């Protein structure tokens, strides 16, 4: 196991707000960051040592990027395969390809989780109208049809309340491969932000309870409503996923809480929106935890000293910024995006609501 020394360069694929907050954490540990991002003026660019703005099929740019860094990580999972094929020949890629392959495809992900013995929603693959008819027969309704790839924040999804909704739902997939998932009768959603180090050690933060609005995460509340045994189950199943993938880095694991136990919704092989509360509740936040992992440093232990409510500021929400800034015990985190478009994550706040027990 080799630790990166201060002064080493960490390459990050993606320059959005997650890359921005990872950059700050890396700087805090004495590292420099090189961002690779196709879009111009990425939010991470304001706080990174270097930025390469180039598309993912620019072999020369990818090669120069990789050769300038000591390790490569990423802030999102939908990186083109050919780019990864090239990058991983040049520098260590953490988390590894398997974690990416699994999380890039909902079907592969479900199969992986089920094989690990974890509970998932009933599901069936759908390419054609006939598949969908068969899937509805197996999975039942209500159900939700999702593209297997590239969906996020509620995009690429269609609800099927009865068989009559099938044609419209299939049309909404635009010809993409899909998976039908049965509705879960859950009381609430929680997520576990867990990390695994290069030495195989695992640390998890206390699970947070998530509320979505219009398909986008609205708030995460710490602590989540969980029984002690549910809390233990949540952390243990996250650790099981990390170990099975020989994972290095932070992962977000979304869980449905049901009367019969926890059901895994999905995993994200990266820092996660529902882990932003750790910035104001823990000595080592999820961003630093991820950098520690990919740099081969010891992990923080994940303990928290505060109860926190994280709230996303979406689009026009930033008009409320003056009120948030005037609130006691509230930390504001803006992403430096110029345009407050509808549905766009502009920032978040962490309200410290109490001291941890």
* Known binding-site positions for ATP: 106, 146, 151-157, 181-184, 189, 212, 265-266
Q: Is the peptide bond before 95 cis (omega within 30 degrees of 0)?
A: yes
- Asked if residue 8 binds a copy of itself (CB under 8 A), the reply is no
193 vs 203, beta carbon nearer a copy of itself: 203
Query: Pick from 122, 184, 321, 344: which binds a copy of itself (CB under 8 A)?
Result: 321
Closest CB 282 distance from a copy of itself, rounded Å: 9
Nearer CB in complex with a copy of itself: 47/244 = 47
Q: Does 27 bind a copy of itself (CB under 8 A)?
A: yes
Choose, by CB under 8 A, the member of 47, 86, 116, 184 that binds a copy of itself.
Answer: 47
| Of the candidate residues 39, 283, 319, 343, the single one contacting a copy of itself (CB under 8 A) | 283
CB-based contact 247:196 (threshold 8 Å): yes
Nearer residue to a copy of itself within complex by CB, 31 or 65: 31
CA distances for 177 relative to 84, 135, 149, 170, 172, angstroms: 22, 13, 8, 10, 11
Alpha carbon distance 143, 145 (integer Å): 7
Residues contacting residue 269 through CB under 8 Å, at least 6 positions apart: 77, 95, 99, 100, 102, 103, 247, 249, 251
Task: Please count the other Cβ atoms lying within 10 Å of the Cβ belonging to residue 311.
Answer: 22
Strand (E) or helix (H) holding 132:
helix 129-139
Considering only residues 48 to 107 of the shown chain, the ones binding a copy of itself according to CB under 8 A are: 48-49
Report yes or no: 26 and 291 within 8 Å, Cβ to Cβ.
yes
Distance CA 236, CA 246 (A): 15
Size of the site for a copy of itself (CB under 8 A): 48
For 357, the token pair is 């027990």
**176 vs 334 by CB, closer to a copy of itself:** 334
Whether residue 264 contacts residue 119, with contact meaning beta carbons closer than 8 Å, is answered with yes
Would you count residue 322 as binding a copy of itself (CB under 8 A)?
Answer: yes
Q: Which residues are annotated as a binding site?
A: 106, 146, 151-157, 181-184, 189, 212, 265-266
CB of 5 to a copy of itself, least distance (A): 9
Q: What angle do CA 152, 284, 280 make, to 5 degrees?
A: 70
Question: Which among 16, 13, 14, 15 has a CA at the least distance from the CA of 346?
Answer: 16
- What is the DSSP code (8-state) at residue 91? S
CA separation for the pair 353, 221 (Å, rounded): 10
231: contact with a copy of itself by CB under 8 A: no
Cβ-based nearer residue to a copy of itself, 130 or 326: 326
Site membership for a copy of itself, residue 33 (CB under 8 A): yes
Candidate residues 2, 28, 213, 260; the one interacting with a copy of itself per rule CB under 8 A: 28
Residue of the chain from 15, 32, 120, 294 that contacts a copy of itself (CB under 8 A): 32
Pick the binder of a copy of itself from 301, 316, 319, 341 (CB under 8 A): 301
Q: Which of 182, 208, 249, 347 binds a copy of itself (CB under 8 A)?
A: 347
**Residue 134 engages a copy of itself in binding (rule: CB under 8 A):** no
- Residue 213 or residue 283: which is nearer to a copy of itself going by CB? 283
Q: Where are the beta strands (DSSP E) in the chain?
A: 9-13, 32-36, 50-52, 71-74, 123-126, 143-147, 157-160, 178-182, 188-196, 202-204, 208-213, 216-222, 249-258, 261-268, 306-314, 330-334, 345-355
Q: Does 287 bind a copy of itself (CB under 8 A)?
A: no
CB under 8 A: which stretch of 62-70, 124-132, 178-186, 318-326 binds a copy of itself?
A: 318-326
Residues making contact with a copy of itself (CB under 8 A): 3, 6-7, 20, 23-24, 27-33, 45-49, 280, 283-284, 292, 297-298, 301, 303, 305-306, 318, 321-322, 325-326, 328-336, 338, 347, 350, 352, 355-356
């Amino acid at each position: 196991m080799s630790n990166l020394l201060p002064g080493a360069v960490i390459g990050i694929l993606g320059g959005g707000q997650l890359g921005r907050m990872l950059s700050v954490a890396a700087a805090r540990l004495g590292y420099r960051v090189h961002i690779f991002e196709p879009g111009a003026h990425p939010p991470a660019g304001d706080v990174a040592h270097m930025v390469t703005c180039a598309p993912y099929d620019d072999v020369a740019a990818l090669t120069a990027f990789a050769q300038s860094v000591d390790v490569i990580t990423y802030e999102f999972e939908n990186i083109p395969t050919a780019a990864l094929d090239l990058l991983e020949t040049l520098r260590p890629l953490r988390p590894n390809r398997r974690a990416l392959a699994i999380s890039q495809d909902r079907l592969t992900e479900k199969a992986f989780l089920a094989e690990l013995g974890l509970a998932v929603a009933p599901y069936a693959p759908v390419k054609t109208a006939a598949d969908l008819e068969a899937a509805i027969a197996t999975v039942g309704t209500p159900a939700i049809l999702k593209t297997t790839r590239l969906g996020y924040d509620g995009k690429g999804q269609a609800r099927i309340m009865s068989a009559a909704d099938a044609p419209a739902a299939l049309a909404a997939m635009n010809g993409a491969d899909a998976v039908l998932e049965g509705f879960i009768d859950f009381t609430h959603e929680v997520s576990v932000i867990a990390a695994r180090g290069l030495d195989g050690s695992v640390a998890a933060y206390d699970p947070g309870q998530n509320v979505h609005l219009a398909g986008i995460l609205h708030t995460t509340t710490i602590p989540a409503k969980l029984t002690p045994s549910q809390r233990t189950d949540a952390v243990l199943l996250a650790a099981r996923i990390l170990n099975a993938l020989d994972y290095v880095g932070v992962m977000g694991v979304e869980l449905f809480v049901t009367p019969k136990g926890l059901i895994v919704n999905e995993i994200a092989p990266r820092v996660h929106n529902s882990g932003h509360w750790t910035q104001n509740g823990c000595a080592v936040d999820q961003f630093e935890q991820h950098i520690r992992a990919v740099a081969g440093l010891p992990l923080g232990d994940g303990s928290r000293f505060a109860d926190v409510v994280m709230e996303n500021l979406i689009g026009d929400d930033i008009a409320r910024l003056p009120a948030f800034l005037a609130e006691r015990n509230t930390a504001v985190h803006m992403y430096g995006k110029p345009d407050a478009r509808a549905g766009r994550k502009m920032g978040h706040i962490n309200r410290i609501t109490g001291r941890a027990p």
